[in-house]
Amino acid sequence: MQNVIPNIENADWNNIAKSMHDKGYAILPNLLTSEECNALKDLYDAPATYRKTVIMERYRFGSGEYKYFNYPLPDIIQQIRTNIYPKLIPIANTWFKALHIDKQFPLQHHQLLAQCHEYGQQKATVLILKYNAGGFNTLHQDLYGDIYFPIQIALMLTEPEKDFTGGELVFTQQVPRAQSKATVINPRKGDAVIFTTNFKPEKGTKGYYRVNMKHGVSEVKSGQRYALGIIFHDAAS
Ligand SMILES: O=C(O)CCC(=O)C(=O)O
Ligand SMILES: [Fe+2]
């Protein structure tokens, strides 16, 4: 826990911003120690912490299970959410300007939450996900109401090729009048993957245009895969 804030402060935010602009995702390696990942993973079975459990098959979201945390969030999650948000502001605000969207995001996370509350979005969106062999997460966007922040984070709590096989993180980019392009990444335990929630700007001959993006998880072939999703806006329900 004592290293999380320095790890955020010391990360190469120029490089992360470049990767976000180019690809719509970026990896912040080793944000968490293996012990911190294990502690978060162990929270999965602590019932009092959650407001809602979703069996993904029921909604055809995929195969697996996830749980939404309740406020107050566990300290380490609260710290990550509050301290990473300001680092993402230049990226989000640059994107909205480039696309001529008439909105700029406030500099501090509590100010974004105040906007959510005004629109009736009060519920925590941070979630922990668990996939067994055969599990997967269909391509989606994590929007929960009118107010949204366009960038989110997934923390990898298990190690590929050791705790599980398969289960890659998948991103698709849909450019106007074309089919989608998919990219697959294999982040390691402790890595934070930063990615766009719904779109990014792409430079064209006549300025910037909007590329829609979705994310999901490919089928887990063996073992168990856990991840923690940090979304910056609150949900209406
Ligand atoms: O399981 C994952 O790695 C990603 C889950 C997800 O959809 C998210 O964090 O929003
Ligand atoms: Fe998601």
Residue identified by tokens 């050791």 is 162
pLDDT at position 48 is 78
pLDDT of residue 87: 98
- What does the pLDDT look like over 102-119, one tens digit per residue? 999 999 999 999 999 999
pLDDT for the residue 1: 61
Residue 184 has a pLDDT of 98
Contact 214, 140 (CB under 8 A): yes
Q: Which ligand is nearest to the CA of 63?
A: 1
Sequence-distant (6+) residues with CB within 8 A of 72 are: 78
- In tens, the pLDDT along 220-231 reads 999 999 999 999
Residue carrying structure tokens 């960038």: 151
DSSP 35-49: HHHHHHHHGGG-GGG
What is the Rg, in whole angstroms, of the alpha carbon atoms belonging to the chain?
Answer: 17
Q: Ligand 1 atom 6: the closest Cα is on which residue?
A: 229
Q: Which of 125, 185, 217, 219 to mutate to test the pocket of ligand 1 (most atoms within 8 A of CB)?
A: 217
- What does the pLDDT read at residue 210? 96
* Strand 136-140 versus strand 207-217 pairing type: antiparallel
Residue 202 one-letter amino acid:
E
Name residues of the chain where pLDDT drops below 50: none
User: What is the model's pLDDT at position 47?
Assistant: 75
| Complete domains list, the chain, with CATH | 4-230 (2.60.120.620)
d(CA 225, CA 222): 9
> Does ligand 1 come within 6 angstroms of the Cβ of 28?
no
Task: Residue 100: count other Cβ atoms within 10 Å of its Cβ.
Answer: 9
Whole-prediction pTM: 0.97
- What is the structure's pLDDT at 175? 86
The amino acid present at 79, given as its one-letter code, is Q
